[in-house]
């Protein structure tokens, strides 16, 4: 778990730097996928899943 959280922070920071520098390439896509992969295995996955489900249920009523 501790290694996963540190990888989430590492990939998140790297993704932020790449997006802020407008460096959109295959490398950025790889970093984004790895960030999502490691984020899904942390404790933040369930609240993110719940928030996404709540947003999906609100959209049809707009």
Token digits of residue 2: 């501790």
pLDDT tens for the 62 residues of the chain, in order: 556 568 888 888 998 998 898 877 888 888 888 888 888 888 888 888 898 889 889 988 88
As a whole number of angstroms, the distance between CA 16 and CA 2 comes to 21
Cβ neighbours, 10 Å, residue 16:
12
At residue 52, the pLDDT reads 84
Cβ-based burial of 55 (10 A; exposed 0-12, middle 13-18, buried ≥19): exposed
């Amino acid at each position: 778990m501790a290694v996963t959280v540190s990888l989430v922070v590492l990939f998140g920071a790297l993704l932020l730097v790449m997006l802020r520098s407008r460096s959109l390439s295959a490398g950025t896509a790889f970093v984004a996928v790895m960030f999502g992969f490691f984020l899904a295995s942390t404790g933040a996955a369930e609240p993110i899943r719940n928030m996404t489900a709540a947003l999906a249920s609100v959209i049809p009523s707009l």
